[in-house]
Structure 1
C-alpha cells in the first residue's frame, strides 16, 4: 500500500471513513469522562435491580463523543440466583458494527470478580472504558455501586488511588487527588514520580518520657527529615544496660521499609548516647529507642537530634 494521508483532496476526495476518523481522533482526547473525581458520581444505584447514569454527562471514547442526554439513563441489572456474589461493570462501549458509543452493563461471572474490559484497537470489535462496578449479592433485590470513572484529564489524568486507568499505555501519567502522588505507567507498574511535600507531628504519649516541644517530620519526594523534641525522663532512673522507647511514632507511609537508622544524641551532663529508629519490617516499626547510653536519671534530658532517610 502506498503512502497516504487524510483529510486531503488526494485521498478519496476528502471523504473520511469511520475507521479513518478513529485513527486520527483517538489521540485528540484521551478516553474518559469530562470532569474530575470531585464531580458527582456518573453512575448510582437505582431502585431495585437498576443503576442510573446522571444527566448531562459528556465523555470521549477513541475520539467519539458521547453524552447521557438531558435526563438520567436507567440500566437494568440482571438478577443473581447463583449462590455467589456477582460483580458487574458499567462501561462506555464503542461498537464498530454501527460506530455508536453507549453506556451498557457488562455482567460478571458469579464469584469471579470484576469482568475485564474489552479494548479492541483494530477496525472491528468493541472498545470499552470503565464507569462503575456493581455488586450484586445472591438473591439481592438492590445493588451497590462503586465509582470507577475514567476521567479525560488534562494529559496528566486526574484520578484517585482506587481509580487509576486499568488499561494504561506506557508513559501514561496520572495525579491521585486523594494521595497527592503523580505516577507513571512504565509498562509493568505505576511508579511514583512525584509526592506532594508533607509535614506531620509524630508525637505520642509515654509515661516514662515527656516531650518538650514537638517532634516534626517533613517529607519531600522520597526523602524524609525528622527533627525530634527534647525528651525528659519522668519515671524511674534508666540503667545503662536498658533500652527505652522515646515518645514518637513515624507513620507507616514514611518509614524506611527495611533499614534501621542510628544517630548519636546528647544527654544531660555533657554525655553521649545513641538512638535507633526502626524500619517498617521490624516489630518496633516506626518507633525511636534510646539503646546505647551511660544511664539516664529522672529529670535528665535527651536533646534534639535530626535524622534523614529515603523511602
Structure 2
C-alpha cells in the first residue's frame, strides 16, 4: 500500500474516520485536565457511597474534548464487603466503541489502586486518572484522594522583556536574547538554565597588584567564581585589618542576602578568609581579605574558588 496523509482531497475526499482523527489529534493536546493542582479538586466525596464531579471542568483524552457539564455529576461507588479496604480509581475514559469520553469508576479488587488502562490503536479504551477512592469494608462513606493528570504547557520563545504576562503553571519560556530558560511555577518565573560567557571581575585597588585575573561564569542560576592571584604592593597589612582585594562582583551575580566565605593561601603556607559580600550588605559585590595573619609587602595571596546561587 502506498503512503497516505490526511486530511487531504486525495484521502477519502477529505473525510476521516474516528481512528484517523485520534491519530492526528492526540498530538494537538496533552492528555489531561485543563488547569493546575491549585484549582479545586475535580472529584470529591459525595453523600454515602458516591463521589461527585464538579461542574465546568474541561479535559482532553487522546485529542477528544471532555466537559463535566454545567451541574454536578454523581458517580455511585460499589459497596465493599471484602473484609479489607478497597481502592477504586476515578478516570476519564475514551471508549472507542462509542468514541466518547466519560468520567467512570475503575473498581479495584484490594487496597492496591488499579492503574488506568491505556490501549492504543483503533479499538479498546484509554484512561487518565482523576482521583483515588478508598472504601473500608462495610463502610457507608468514602474517602477521596485527588490525583488529576493535568494537561501540560507549551514551550514559548520570547525575549527577557517579553515574557508571557499570563502564563500557566508548567509553561517554559526560552529567552532568545539571553539563552535563559525559565519555568512558571504558578506564582513566579524560575530560572532553570543559563550559561554565561566567562566574565572578568578584576577591579584594581590600591595596595594590591593583579598577577592573574579573577573570572566568573554562570551555569543554570549558579555563579562559579575563580579568584586570581594577588601581591601585596604596600606596607605590611596588620592581622587585625581587613583589606579589599582587586575584585568586584557585578550586581546581577551577587547573592541576594548571604555573604560568601572562602579560604586563601598566603606566602609561607598560611591561610586567611576571603569574604564576598551579598547584595544585602553595606558593601555589595566587594571582596575582602579577612581573618588573616600579618601580610608583608611582596607576599602573595592565592584564594580558592567558590560558588553560590543567584536569582535572575
TM-score when normalising by structure 1: 0.53
Q: Secondary structure at the match of 2:101?
A: strand
- Judged with a 3 Å threshold, the aligned counterparts in structure 2 of structure 1 residues 133 and 181 are, in CA distance, closer, same or farther, namely farther
- Judged with a 3 Å threshold, the aligned counterparts in structure 2 of structure 1 residues 121 and 80 are, in CA distance, closer, same or farther, namely same
User: Cα distance, 1:309 vs. partner?
Assistant: 7.8
- Judged with a 3 Å threshold, the aligned counterparts in structure 2 of structure 1 residues 107 and 30 are, in CA distance, closer, same or farther, namely same
Taking only aligned residues, the RMSD between alpha carbons, in angstroms, comes to 3.9
Other-structure match for 1:61 = 61
Other-structure match for 1:141 = 140
- Judged with a 3 Å threshold, the aligned counterparts in structure 2 of structure 1 residues 307 and 116 are, in CA distance, closer, same or farther, namely same
- Judged with a 3 Å threshold, the aligned counterparts in structure 2 of structure 1 residues 51 and 175 are, in CA distance, closer, same or farther, namely farther
CA offsets 1:200-225 (integer angstroms, 9 cap, x no match): xxxxxxxxxxxxxxxxxxxx968599
- Judged with a 3 Å threshold, the aligned counterparts in structure 2 of structure 1 residues 307 and 9 are, in CA distance, closer, same or farther, namely closer
Structure 2 CA distance, aligned partners of 1:139 and 1:175? 45
Structure 1 CA distance, aligned partners of 2:139 and 2:92? 25
Structure 2 CA distance, aligned partners of 1:181 and 1:117? 32
- Judged with a 3 Å threshold, the aligned counterparts in structure 2 of structure 1 residues 150 and 121 are, in CA distance, closer, same or farther, namely same
1:44 aligns with 2:55: no
Structure 1 CA distance, aligned partners of 2:111 and 2:307? 47
Other-structure match for 1:110 = 110
Other-structure match for 1:4 = 4
Q: Secondary structure at the match of 2:104?
A: strand
Structure 2 CA distance, aligned partners of 1:175 and 1:149? 19
Structure 2 CA distance, aligned partners of 1:18 and 1:28? 15
Structure 2 CA distance, aligned partners of 1:6 and 1:180? 39
Other-structure match for 2:87 = 87
1:25 aligns with 2:25: yes
Other-structure match for 2:118 = 119
Structure 2 CA distance, aligned partners of 1:116 and 1:181? 33
Paired residues of 1:36 and 1:153 also in contact (CA < 8 A) = no
User: Cα distance, 1:85 vs. partner?
Assistant: 1.4
Structure 2 CA distance, aligned partners of 1:100 and 1:177? 32
Structure 2 CA distance, aligned partners of 1:28 and 1:36? 19
Q: Secondary structure at the match of 2:103?
A: strand
State which structure, 1 or 2, has the greater radius of gyration over its C-alpha atoms.
Answer: 2
Other-structure match for 1:243 = none
Other-structure match for 2:293 = none
Q: Secondary structure at the match of 1:20?
A: helix
Structure 1 CA distance, aligned partners of 2:101 and 2:88? 19
Structure 1 CA distance, aligned partners of 2:140 and 2:190? 39
User: Cα distance, 1:110 vs. partner?
Assistant: 1.2
- Judged with a 3 Å threshold, the aligned counterparts in structure 2 of structure 1 residues 194 and 140 are, in CA distance, closer, same or farther, namely farther
TM-score when normalising by structure 2: 0.53
Mapping of residues 1-311 of structure 1, within 5 Å: 1-112=1-112, 114-155=113-154, 158=169, 308=307
Structure 2 CA distance, aligned partners of 1:24 and 1:36? 25
Structure 2: gaps of 5 or more residues: 156-167, 171-182, 195-218, 225-260, 265-269, 274-304
Q: Secondary structure at the match of 1:21?
A: helix
Structure 1: gaps of 5 or more residues: 160-173, 183-192, 196-219, 226-261, 266-270, 275-305
